[in-house]
Amino acid sequence: MPIDDDDVIRKMLREAKTIAVVGAWVKPWRDSNSIMRFLIDVGYRVFPVNPKYSEVLGIPCVPSLSSVPKGIDIVDVFRRPEALGPIVEEAIANGAKTLWMQLGVVNEDAAKKAEQAGMNVIMDHCIRVDHRRLIR
């Protein structure tokens, strides 16, 4: 069952150092772009993931999670729910600790698969909103 407990989410956000942003976009008005900028500004090491771009916000962009260093703390997903199957597979193979599905991204099967692999799952939450709300 996806995590909804503020204390647990706060702990995850405080302990995390690296975040892969799946679905990163170069357009500044896109949520993935502004949230990625926020994550960088508050001190996370961020890896943009999108096969369409060579860089996002001046950071080299990789085509998939398999190109990100192993052991990512949080995989933050800005993709449609039906696209999560391969993303979860790659997150599991990466050894990622947490699968974070942004607002509007709900996929119970993907959440269950990630949980069965030992990952924490946050679903239908905005990482920026939770960070602002829980980390001061």
Task: Render pLDDT for 120-129 as a digit per residue (tens, 0 to 9).
Answer: 999 999 999 9
75: left (phi over 0), alpha (psi -120 to 50) or beta: beta
Q: Does 68 reside within a domain? A: yes
Q: Does 66 reside within a domain? A: yes
Task: Render pLDDT for 92-121 as a digit per residue (tens, 0 to 9).
Answer: 999 999 999 999 999 999 999 999 999 999
Q: Does 1 reside within a domain? A: no
Q: Does 18 reside within a domain? A: yes
Residues 20-48, mean pLDDT to the nearest whole number? 96
Residue 125 belongs to domain with CATH number:
3.40.50.720
The model's pTM: 0.96
Residues 6+ apart with CB under 8 A from 95: 70, 71, 72
Q: Does 24 reside within a domain? A: yes
**Buried-state track 44-68, b at ≥16 Cβ within 10 A, e below 16:** bebbbbbeeeeebbeeebbeebeeb
What's 65's DSSP letter?
A: G
Number of domains composing the chain? 1
Residue 79: give the domain boundaries: 6-134
